[in-house]
Amino acid sequence: MIPVFVISLARSHDRRAFIEKHMSSRAVDFVFFDAVDGKKLSEDELKNVDFLMARQFCGHDLSLGEVGCAMSHIRIYEMMVAKNIEHCVVLEDDIYLHSHFKAIVSKAMSACQSDIIFLYHGKVKSWPWMKKMPEGYRLAKYISPSRNSKRGIISTAGYILTLSGAKKLLSKAYPIRMPSDYLTGRLQLNGLTASGVEPCCMDVGLFDTTIDDRNYGPHVTDDEVR
């Protein structure tokens, strides 16, 4: 099994206790990756955020919770590059893995060369052919939208990322101007090749979000991001 990192606030003791028990039940080895607390951002950290560009790009004010979440994922990408980690699984801490998660990840790794494989996602356009996975799951290859499209793959709850994918994401990460799932999910921006497990091999929402000031207003515009 490739490295598995679970993003979690150090103060989220209940979540961490649940995750430890749940991952043990799935026989998945993992490491907690301390999330950035959006309520405790330093001045230096805030210098990496462009709130004006975020409004132009996303159509809403980027909340501090969203900033912290985005920084958390970006720091994993930076760690992958610094430590030359070829592949890893990135999970958030409100997930519940399906019973065949480990076998699905293993099969996806051997069957797919995409930069990113989404393990949880919303509706996505894909090519008509799909690869068979364990227990009736399938692996779909996703179609990158046109440059001016508003479409994206929403959710960073769980995905497999390659080192090449991490480098592509970092080339678009700064200044921070979008939520984490905009950076990973807008293929027309990040240039990632993407696939996904269908149906999703995990569930989310077992806990209330820790991004408690997230803005769920209009999120996407056609503005070009440079």
- Give pLDDT, residue 113: 95
pLDDT, tens only, 110-142: 999 999 999 999 888 888 789 999 999 999 999
* CB of 160 closer than 8 Å to CB of 87: yes
> In whole angstroms, what is the distance from residue 99 CA to residue 137 CA?
12
CATH classification code of 4-204: 3.90.550
Q: What is the C-alpha end-to-end distance of the chain, expressed in Å?
A: 37
In the chain, how long is the greatest CA-to-CA distance?
49
Give the H/E segment covering residue 34: strand 31-34
Q: Which two tokens stand for residue 182?
A: 């905009």
- Give pLDDT, residue 208: 66
Is residue 84 over pLDDT 60? yes
Weakest mean pLDDT among 33-42, 69-78, 148-157: 148-157
**In degrees, to the nearest 5, what angle opens at C-alpha 207 toward C-alphas 159 and 31?**
45
Is residue 162 over pLDDT 80? yes
**Each residue of 8-28: b (16+ CB within 10 Å) or e?**
bbeebeebbebbeeebeeeeb
The arithmetic mean of pLDDT across residues 145-149, rounded, is 85
* CB of 182 closer than 8 Å to CB of 225: no
The arithmetic mean of pLDDT across residues 95-102, rounded, is 97
The arithmetic mean of pLDDT across residues 69-97, rounded, is 98
For the chain, domain boundaries: 4-204
pTM for the whole structure: 0.90
